[in-house]
Amino acid sequence: MKKVLMGSHAVAEAVRRARVEVISAYPITPQTVIVEKLAEMVERGELKAKYVRVESEHSALAVVYGSSASGARVFTATSSHGLLYMYEMLWWVANSRLPVVMAVATRAIGPPWNIHTDHIDALTIRDAGWIIGFAESVQEAFDMTLQAYKVAEDRRVLLPVMVALDGFIISHTSEPVVMPEEKEVAEWLPPREPLPFRLEPGKPFAVGNLGPDSVTMELRWNSWRAAERAKSVIQEVSVEYEKRFSTGTPTGLVEKYKVDGAKYLAISTGAWSGDVKEAVDALREEGYEVGLARLRYMRPFPREELQELLSSVKAAVVLDRSVSIGHMGILGSEVKSIAGRTPVKDVIAGLGGVDVSYEDFASILKGAVEEHEAGLSSEWNVAEWHMPWVT
Amino acid sequence: MSVKYLPSDLNKEAEEDLRKIREKLLSLPAPGASGPTGSWRLYRPEISAAKCVKCGICWLYCPEDVISWVPRELPKIDYTYCKGCGLCANVCPVKAIDMVVEGE
Ligand code: SF4
Ligand code: SF4
């Protein structure tokens, strides 16, 4: 089935096809449209889920946490301040190893109030034990949401998954989406096996009781190993999905765009990667040997794949829609941590939804190539802020 | 360019992890699931049989559920788990519970 849908509705369609049993959410722009659509589906009886209205995001995640612990397949969604309000529960969910799936329509964190996208909100949870995917298109937001259930519930993984989609740019933009029929999805995604445990009446137990310190450390190691395993599971699941449903979305952790023979590598994630591709195309025509590595997943971090890509180029440029105040861009510091001797330039841009065009990307990339060729890449230890309107 | 992530013992490792989650993250209801918490106590609640009116309020309020009481009898405190929080002494309507420095 092919339909024109906006990103939020595509996510809701994926949740419906996953036959989710409990949904709880609190409205916040730009996420609201996702759960409004789901409320409609539940109301019309198209989705046999329990929809729990709550007074805050903290409670929304607590509701799906408890439901997931009792074996249900669950969903929630949020943005920005809502995600921050969930913060404590995010760690409870991940450290309890429950396969919760959450969509985050990314949005800048205030003040000042701003409803437009950057990636800082989603990246504030990068250490919490969630798998974090970033969609580039409406199609990918749909595919990633469905795949999230398969990955999270896999007994080799058992970690929650966050699907980030850029607020408005994906959440409110309509694009054609290929969607497999419900029956086909049901064959591929069976009902959830209640792992790693199931709370049920009459069989009481406690989750996460006080224990020796060593238990905490062992369980963190346990989660860490699961995230390492998740790399191959994500690969497996996305390849299998594409084979069955042929939606055309790239598979694995990293999309490699025109990297063959590339001497310079752009690295980005999220919706604006489409514009970076246009910049790469334009530069290729001008004779620049540039390629793009688009991170589909930030957690687990595609360390090995990026290292392989970085080792075969002269230099790389991270197009970073995030910043860690006091250091550099978040994606930039992650890439630098595994780049070995390859110089990496971190360019912070597009915060608060500031528009960055493909011409901007082209000039950023060209500038980096010129700097490297002039022997100036040793000065790339400090991030550069792309704010052409400030002189 | 293809990276292989699949170590051959992936499934074995995952099963080992799953077993560990169940063993270490979950606990069944049992007295003192967190160990003999009585060792945390700095002050020891002592009930004066002379003052106690056997109302059971201390039994009702003890957050650790370590006071046993049957109506019209003197309550009894299980010192293996009593943390010495002093709540019982605070709520006792006739001030029949003294918090005594542990070891004295
Ligand atoms: S001191 Fe606290 S834990 Fe001990 S019996 Fe009194 S209320 Fe219970
Ligand atoms: S609250 Fe005081 S009076 Fe009442 S049973 Fe306990 S010790 Fe006795």
Mean of pLDDT over chain A: 97
Closest chain A CA to residue B9: A229
* List of chain B residues whose C-beta atoms are within 8 Å of the C-beta of residue A206: 26-29, 33
> Is the pLDDT reported for residue A166 higher than 50?
yes
Domain that includes residue B63, residue range: 29-101
End-to-end CA distance of chain B: 74
- In ligand 1, the atom with minimum distance to the C-alpha of B61 is 7
Report the Cα A124 to chain-centroid distance in Å: 12
pLDDT at residue A354, rounded to an integer: 98
The CATH number assigned to the domain holding B58 equals: 3.30.70.20
* List of chain B residues whose C-beta atoms are within 8 Å of the C-beta of residue A211: 24, 27, 34
Asked if residue B45 belongs to a domain, the reply is: yes
CATH class of A254-385: alpha beta
pLDDT 10s digits, A179-206? 999 999 999 999 999 999 999 999 999 9
Of residues B1, B13, B22, nearest to A225 (C-beta): B13
Cβ–Cβ under 8 Å, residues A293 and A262: no
Asked if residue B10 belongs to a domain, the reply is: no
Does A218 contact B24 at a Cβ distance shorter than 8 Å? Answer: yes
Lowest mean pLDDT among A49-58, A111-120, A209-218, A326-335: A209-218
Asked if residue B12 belongs to a domain, the reply is: no
Beta sheet of A131-134, edge-to-edge order: A50-53, A22-25, A74-78, A101-106, A161-166, A131-134, A297-299
Across the A/B interface, how many CB contacts are shorter than 8 Å? Answer: 74
pLDDT 10s digits, B61-93? 999 999 999 999 999 999 999 999 999 999 999
Residue A219 contacts B where some CB pair is shorter than 8 Å: yes
pTM: 0.93
Distance from CA of A203 to the nearest CA of B (A): 9
Candidates B2, B5, B28: best to mutate against A (most CBs of A within 10 A) is: B5
Indicate if ligand 1 lies below 6 Å from the C-beta of B67: yes
- Rg (Cα) of chain A, in Å, rounded? 21
- In ligand 1, the atom with minimum distance to the C-alpha of B86 is 1
Distance from CA of B102 to the nearest CA of A (A): 24
pLDDT 10s digits, B14-56? 999 999 999 999 998 888 877 899 999 999 999 999 999 999 9
> Is the pLDDT reported for residue A351 higher than 90?
yes
B57: closest CA among B92, B98, B99? B92
pLDDT 10s digits, A292-302? 999 999 999 99
- In ligand 1, the atom with minimum distance to the C-alpha of B99 is 1
Q: Which amino acid is at A63?
A: V
Of residues B10, B29, B34, nearest to A229 (C-beta): B10
Read off the pLDDT of each residue in A115-138 and give the average, rounded to a whole number.
98
CA distances from A380 to A74, A318, A337, A341 (A): 44, 11, 14, 12
> Is the pLDDT reported for residue B1 higher than 50?
no
A336: closest CA among A292, A306, A379? A306
pLDDT 10s digits, A15-37? 999 999 999 999 999 999 999 99
Share of chain A above pLDDT 90, in %: 98
Candidates A92, A96, A209, A304: best to mutate against B (most CBs of B within 10 A) is: A209
Indicate if ligand 2 lies below 6 Å from the C-beta of B62: no
> Is the pLDDT reported for residue B2 higher than 70?
no
pLDDT at residue A202, rounded to an integer: 94
pLDDT at residue A391, rounded to an integer: 77
* List of chain B residues whose C-beta atoms are within 8 Å of the C-beta of residue A225: 13, 17
Asked if residue B22 belongs to a domain, the reply is: no
Could you give the CA distance from residue B19 to residue B14 in angstroms, rounded to a whole number? 9
CATH class of A2-192+214-245: alpha beta
Strands A2-6 and A174-178: what pairing?
antiparallel
**Which H/E stretch holds residue A206?**
strand A206-207
Is it true that A2-192+214-245 and A254-385 share their CATH fold?
Answer: yes
> Is the pLDDT reported for residue B6 higher than 60?
no
pLDDT at residue A68, rounded to an integer: 98
Domain boundaries, chain A: 2-192+214-245, 254-385
Smallest CA separation from ligand 2 atom 4, residue: B55
Does B21 contact A207 at a Cβ distance shorter than 8 Å? Answer: no
Asked if residue B3 belongs to a domain, the reply is: no
